[in-house]
Chains A and B, each alone.
Chain A
């Protein structure tokens, strides 16, 4: 573990945690991407993971991604649950033989000393039905708390992954609470400062949680959201059609961005209670079909390995 100033130490600083992870993975040769500039539910949905996981080309990237889960909003009153939180995402393709060791070293780098903590790999097989993706792997537990999801992708957007990507997802707020020893996310020290210079997570995000929870649960215009969902679906297919040139695709990424819109609209509608239990499956299938089409389109581009 490198010596770092107190205000950058993950034990005192939420942004210090993010910066330390970025530095660690940069040192492993990862491209450090910035968050995708569109709302999404998880870091996996970033093109830097979901699309790059497909096709034969190697790829190593790491990034923080704000993840939006409208249904999880609690108006900032629940100590552990937010409708907007950060995941730290790492993808290594092909998965290296020492992936577990690298991951553990990243934990040591942020201050989790294996001599003191109980770290375990507990079976958990991840799947995301809207992306047509699944893999095998584990939840990583630190002293009884889940700190990461560790997955070897087997299939994404309905396509077999070859080579297989290793994906690591860290729950940053939860990890930070543990490192900083606070019981509530809002109490986290965001910038590592002290006294008047200290900025807390609440200072940064409490108002967002209050306002967004209200919007998500009480105010979102569902008629508009349904319309936008349908528009995204139509536009996605239109883009793929317009971009298709023989067996090459020239607009896979813009088409996939429509999938992100559709998925986020679905999440907002779900939070509003506008989607019944029986309809939910059909919406998920619709999004999945779009994701699969975009996955196939990506494979017809240079990024996806098409010659």
Chain B
């Protein structure tokens, strides 16, 4: 059966777009094939820096003939309706339509339209250019005189269709200025000559001979195993880095792995600095020795087989790394010579924000705030103050000046180097965290105190000058700061009421709602436990979780139904009467077993729930509420609230009010759906 081969040959595709592009190509083409009535057996997409390829096998030579039935108007319908039907169905006379009978509706016209199948090549010559025009590249560009967009300039298109036993045909189309054909090219340096292509099998073979490994996962495997061999030979292990491996596989068509070295003297630098430099700047892998220490070696992934075995390439990479590490060493030594606190006066020259003053002023605020927070989180106030004082000192160091992403990390190293206690050094690094929803959260009390101080100062400061984040702009990362506060409190189980103004508290509520929803809690349950003045994040979270547990079983769901019934009745009657029922139930006016039972149950549960809530035991409170299910059900089955006797009626309404108020001790059930 025929197969389709498609290759889009271009200038180098960014590594981070490659895998997704292969998936997108496969999806777009196979969807279009199915829509056109062309079934297929299998499809696979491939990507290298210079080509995006797809093979689809088991296609038919034509799409099948189809028959479509189009329902028309009733027999005897007005002429315009019949004319419209003839037009839509492509018929010239109503005699061409069948008449069908429907028992209920009578006779109506039915058109049977035969659609002959189309030649697959013809279909593909329309399908493929449209896919290229609509291709969802995150970033694309024009080139030369053209207006066609592609991720990078498109230089050749191979598009063939045919079976094993014949010479395949080129699917004819043009995208921009590139016309489809059957010519591709091998490795840019090792085998750049043109290659005539027929089908996938010869294509893959020819590419391999031309030093192109088409499959990205195979390139990753080659890199990984060759790197491991080189490492093993030196008694070293690679520091695993899946992200880097994926990236590097997108930078080569013919991976060749080699090992370089740097001067062991550079190992005096913090490990993170070395790894960041080698990994991020050079895209090389780092290694550890048998003892787990960072080794003075690195793994290069080149895109060529050099005639000297790679000596020049290795020397070149070693040169660059030597220069970078020398730079880092120069700054590191310079910074170590100066105690951190001596850098503090320089912060007076650094403006934090025009309306919020200098970094120095901010540090003064942080010291004060950290001292206030410390007792609430179990930290020593003096140590929290010292940590806050040093927290931003590394911003003026040479190392952080050259490598701003190392802020905090260098502060920790310098603090430790000058003999600060471990928890203070740790706090200098950890106070920035968490930097995102999956980043680590500080867990030591001094770190927590400074982290909270840092984020709260940021938020209250920008709120005070009315620089709040909008839907599209959050240049000071205030959402991240608020989420950080929430995570620190939640993951450390801290009782930490947020003493901030109402507008900022509302912002925290928004972030908390998002965060709880992302954790799987229903949005209406979250709304039910956040009141305008709820300032205790942990309490809100615990309530929401307990509420969710309550409503996950039959007791809770039925109780909710009973609550809603009570609330609806109350609302209606309160409106009629023009007054609110206070919940003061007169025991002597209770009539009947169910009413009495409910009254006593509500009383008892109200008291015990109040107790549980006072102890922050929301699970216990919810369990108590659940016991109301039975008496509430029984009440509604047996009792009519709107009794003829106004006193009895009023008493029953008060009972419903008391039930409602009892449930509201834990959550605003009126916000719960269902």
Contact = CB atoms under 8 A, between A and B. Distances in A.
A204 interface: no
Given A80-B327, A164-B144, 7 more contacts: A94-B145, A96-B144, A117-B306, A117-B316, A122-B251, A144-B283, A164-B142
Given A143-B316, A152-B141, A116 B300 contact: no
Contacts of A117: 304, 306, 312-313, 316
Q: How extensive is the interface on chain A, given as a class?
A: 35 or more
B353 interface: yes
B145 A120 contact: no
Which among B153, B321, B349 has the greatest number of chain A C-beta atoms within 10 A?
B153
Interface string A167-189: 00000000000100001000000
Contact of A152 (B153, B349, B351): B153
Contact of B320 (A116, A144, A161): A144
A298 interface: no
A118 B144 contact: no
Interface residues of B, number: 46
A163 B320 contact: no
A115 B192 CA distance: 13
A274 to B, nearest CB: 11
Contacts of A135: 141
A191 B4 CA distance: 59
Contacts of B49: 121
B43 interface: no
Interface in B549-575: none
Contact of B349 (A96, A121, A178, A273): A273
Given A120-B251, A121-B11, A143-B316, A115 B284 contact: no
A232 B27 CA distance: 55
3 A-B pairs with least C-beta separation = A143-B316, A123-B14, A144-B317
Nearest to B12: A121
A144 B353 contact: no
A95 to B, nearest CB: 5
Contact of A143 (B155, B308, B317, B323): B317
A279 interface: yes
A79 B323 CA distance: 8
Given A100-B11, A116-B308, A273-B349, A144 B282 contact: yes
Q: What is the predominant secondary structure among interface residues of chain B facing chain A?
A: loop
Contact of B306 (A95, A116, A136): A116
6 contacts: A95-B153, A118-B302, A122-B251, A123-B12, A143-B319, A152-B143
A164 B306 CA distance: 35
Nearest to A278: B354
B313 A164 contact: no
B152 A136 contact: yes
Nearest to B354: A278
Nearest to B326: A79
B141 A145 contact: no
B15 interface: yes
Contacts of B15: 122-123
Nearest to B177: A97
B354 A95 contact: no
B303 interface: yes
B207 to A, nearest CB: 19
A144 B14 CA distance: 17
Contact of A145 (B284, B312, B319, B349): B319
Nearest to A142: B316
Interface in A115-156: 115-123, 125, 135-136, 138, 142-145, 152, 154
A118 B303 contact: yes
Contacts of B326: 79
A115 B307 contact: yes
Given A100-B11, A118-B313, A183 B306 contact: no
B265 to A, nearest CB: 15
Nearest to B252: A120
